[in-house]
Chain A
Amino acid sequence: MSTQPALVSENIQGVETLEGRLAPGGSSRRRIGHPSWTTTAVLALCSLSILIPLYVTISMAFKTTEQAVSGSAFALPAPFSVDGFREAWSLTDFPRAFTISVLVTAGSVFGTIILAAFASYAISRNWERRLFRYSFFYLLAAMFIPFPVLALAQIRLTGIVGLDNPAGVTLLHIMFQLSFSVLLFTAFLRSIPMELEESARIDGATTWQTFWKLIFPLLAPMSATVGIFAFLASWNDFMMPSLITSDPTLQTLPVVQSIFQTQFSNNYNVSFASYLMAMAPAIAVYIFTQRWVMAGVTQGAVKG
């Protein structure tokens, strides 16, 4: 994570320099002159619509039950209390739900990267063969099939083969990420010059070695993008685990939050502490991978 992949950083720097010179909307005098405070103020005001719900989540989580129930949502916690966290921890069995979420997410991130990179490599290096070319379009077709269409049949099938558990959820998460990931990887593989691979082969490397020693490391920036999207889709998903996993004690973090809608609906400090613990890991990952997240969305859209 500490080393910035070359391609992505070039992209971003390119973008930054572009912005510096070519900010749209402003007159040329404006662009050379000072940044607009009015626009900044308006945007800062708009950003409150994002910050206020987050602030409410955090402040509610640190309140006592009395203050959370009776006071205003926007008041600061007084007194400051971590009881909500303590109770949420045991009510949702946080360690277990967290572990399952981590396993499902890690499985789908690694599974997506490996399966998509394998398939994309085979496809891009054998494009002249019909089998590989058709496989590409076949895998891409899933982009047009949303989960709700397949849900009923998948619930049934996973039940029959004993995959109505987090392992089945992981597999399905990988499958729904595959199209998008294969598209990104194959586009990137086109940009890798064949000469590189040929020289590796002259040195006696097998295809397997060439993939792992040469191609896979070169794919790193794209793997980061693919991985982040697989992470966000898997960590935040509610519909699929809630429908596929039949054993409620094997549910992921987003799904276990539903207990606060029924049984403990008035202990707002507890429920908000629980929400905060569930969303914090994704926000933490975002803070460290902002550039890839932002670049990834753009690549995904513009590639398409």
Chain B
Amino acid sequence: MATTTATRVDTAEAPRPDQAPRKRRKVEPIYYLFLLPALVLFSLAITLPAIMGIFYSFTNSIGFGEWDFVGLINYQAMFSDPAIWQSYLFTFGFAAVTVVVVNVIAFLLAVGLTAKIRMKSALRAIFVIPMVISGIIIAYVFNYLFSNSVPAAGSSLGISWLSESILANPNLAWVAIVIVTAWQAIPGTLLIYIAGLLSIPGDVYEAADLDGASKLQALLKITLPLVSGYVVINIVLGFKGFLNAYDIIVGLTNGGPGTSTRSIAMTIVTGFTGGDYAYQMANATFFFLITILISLVQLRATRGRSTL
């Protein structure tokens, strides 16, 4: 769901800058009451934990009891920790592959679903279903299919690498995670592409048709450039969302075999039980910095494109 979060924060988009006649009036006290609950709860539930996390990342706290400031030791240890490196490599690789798979499939489906076809609304309704199903539950369903049905099919077809569960294979388990994540993420991406495709005026295609362009040429040379703004939105939002992968991995491999599919989010929460609380706070803070960097890229990339 988080993947649908909107992207641009820009003063130009902000509400009502034009209230000149009311300018110097006194603010009615009730407006403060309207704003206060959101501000107070938000500060306590989001801002405070964020500050607390950054603060503890410079200590040796184990989650309770006494602690001391240790400076940057947690960060130094983090960068030489193969477990941390592995989780970052896995998560970024997984997110990159998934974002490509999701966008290619969603774009092609969107082209199909906006063409003149039969049963259009029924097909659209079906393609959106995965969006409304809980990630952990669909992961459990696929877990069964990958450990039972796929190996059964593989052995009856005589394909040796398929006759064992790919979830138990350290080299292939990530493929299962990509498949299930894509299964769930395609609908949101697809709907955004449909909106993009519908915003293209039809006479563009008529002109291309008159000029003798083939369908493939029209798709690559006209459709794709015209929805490039939507492509950017989908890629950035998707990538950011996939970096937080947790539910589906827990349901499929729980980080295994070994720790080969352990994501950043899964590594961070081990800090709660594993005794390296402050250490994983440093990990979370580092991950936070990366998220902010990607968000800045996102703000730049989507500025002015959203109206396409």
Contacts and interface: CB of A to CB of B under 8 A. Distances in A.
Nearest to A302: B306
Interface string B124-142: 1111111111111110111
A229 B26 CA distance: 36
A73 B129 CA distance: 21
> Most A CB atoms within 10 A — which of B7, B136, B198?
B136
B247 interface: yes
A88 B153 CA distance: 28
Interface residues of A, number: 128
B1 A233 contact: yes
Contact of B141 (A56, A140, A147, A254): A56
A46 interface: yes
A47 B138 CA distance: 16
A115 B205 contact: no
A148 B269 contact: yes
B302 A128 contact: no
B70 interface: no
B306 A304 contact: yes
A297 interface: yes
Contacts, number: 361
Given A171-B41, A179-B5, A300-B5, A153 B137 contact: no
Interface in B42-61: 42, 45-46, 48-50, 52-53, 56
Interface residue range, chain B: 35 or more
Interface in A167-204: 171-172, 174-176, 178-180, 182-184, 186-187, 189-190
Contact of B200 (A22, A35, A46): A22
A151 B268 contact: yes
A47 B39 contact: no
Q: Is the interface of B mostly helix, strand, loop or mixed?
A: helix
A26 B200 CA distance: 13
B52 A157 contact: yes
> Most A CB atoms within 10 A — which of B142, B144, B277, B306?
B144
A298 B195 contact: yes
Interface stretch (A1-9, A78-86, A92-100, A116-124): A116-124
Interface string A99-125: 000000000000000011011011111
Given A152-B53, A153-B281, A208 B137 contact: no
B38 A28 contact: no
Contacts of A21: 202
A26 B109 CA distance: 15
A119 B30 CA distance: 11
A40 B118 contact: yes
Contact of B39 (A26, A73, A119, A297): A119
A136 to B, nearest CB: 7
Contacts of B161: none
A233 B114 contact: no
Contacts of B109: 43, 46
Closest 6 CB pairs of A and B: A304-B6, A22-B202, A304-B7, A153-B49, A148-B265, A236-B134
30 contacts: A19-B120, A22-B200, A24-B197, A24-B202, A26-B115, A26-B205, A36-B115, A40-B117, A44-B119, A50-B127, A72-B152, A73-B145, A115-B41, A128-B19, A142-B42, A142-B46, A148-B264, A157-B52, A176-B2, A182-B38, A184-B6, A189-B16, A190-B15, A208-B30, A232-B132, A236-B132, A238-B136, A257-B136, A279-B138, A304-B233
Interface of B: 1-2, 4-9, 13-17, 19, 22-23, 27-28, 30-32, 34-35, 37-39, 41-42, 45-46, 48-50, 52-53, 56, 63, 109, 111-120, 123-138, 140-142, 144-145, 148-149, 152, 183, 188, 191-192, 194-195, 197-198, 200-202, 205-206, 209, 215, 218-219, 223, 230, 233-234, 237, 240, 243-244, 246-247, 250-251, 264-265, 268-269, 271-272, 277, 280-281, 284-285, 287-288, 291-292, 295, 302, 306
